[in-house]
Structure 1
Amino acid sequence: MKKPLLILVVDDDDDNQVLAVQILKLLDYACISASDGYMALELSHRYHPDLILLDIAMPDLSGLEVVHRLKTNLVTASIPVIALTAMAMVGDRELALAAGFDEYLAKPYSVEQLETTIQQTLASFSSPVVERC
């Protein structure tokens, strides 16, 4: 039996965090969660999850700062990070991607949107890069 992929859910809102974890469990993912950026960094180093769902607007250490620290650290730089956020204004997606997020999903989202975004992001990280000579 194949081991389920591990996803770290980071959200300071308990309801949003619990909802995401429950959906991911229904989709057969293993989950760990953090309620702040500092805990997210610690769990990322300790467990090296297959993917991180990260809220942007969090107190103390924003998701933008967390993704910057993850992507500039050799231990965690290869972990795909999806912004899962209520920031859904024009330009927010571009801001998140420019900050280092690999994908962006605005709240509220459907189960299908979450599943598709996760699958596409994981597929883009597992595909070999072919360089042309």
Structure 2
Amino acid sequence: MYLAHSFMSDEKQQNSHQPLILAVEDHDDSLLLISYALELMGCRFICQTDCSATVLVAKEYQPDLILLDILLPGLSGIDVVRHLKQEPLTSKIPAIAVTALATTEDRERILKAGFDDYISKPYMIEDLEAIIRRVLGGKFSPYSAFELCQD
């Protein structure tokens, strides 16, 4: 079985009270932007460039949230979220679609597939942070990373 290339943020592994987010994105630049945003927010994160092991990684690490691209090679993000929602260990993990698909029909189809929210590319980091904070509720400090960087 081919295992997906993935990595976990090193300095955040020990800070287990911060949310753990699994990000699945096949474009390196997009994955770098997501990891930068998550780092600024103080999150622990696991990044994958291939979705073939996403369900296994989610079952093992039980992330607080999954950020999932829709247009992935092999399985689409919609297929992956359907598998996640069918698994008892991962069915309650919220998932946010991060995608270039931006029509109203795309959004409706994505949300109907089981995603909890949606953000279209390109996006601003503060918009991604707002969606993550909304989905995860009170698991963060009251200050946004964007606000802290403005000082």
Q: TM-score, normalised by structure 1?
A: 0.88
After TM superposition, the structure 1 = structure 2 runs for residues 1-133 of structure 1, keeping only pairs within 5 Å, are 3-123=17-137
Shift of 1:123: 2.4
Inter-partner Cα distance in structure 2 for 1:63 and 1:86? 12
Stretches of structure 1 lacking an aligned partner (at least 5 in a row)? 125-133
Deviates further, 77-86 or 13-22: 13-22
Distance 1:70 1:28 in 2: 25
1:55-112: per-residue Cα shift (whole Å, max 9, x none)? 0000111100000000011000010000001111231111100001010010111111
How many angstroms does 1:2 deviate by?
6.8
Unaligned runs of 5+ in 2: 1-14, 139-151
Q: How many residues align?
A: 124
Report % sequence identity.
44
Q: CA RMSD in A?
A: 1.5
Residue 37 of structure 2 contacts residue 129 of structure 2 at CA under 8 Å; is this kept in 1?
no
For residues 130 and 39 of structure 2, what CA distance do their matches in structure 1 show? Answer: 15
Taking structure 2 as the reference length, the TM-score comes to 0.78
Give 4+ residue runs of structure 1 displaced > 4 Å after superposition: none
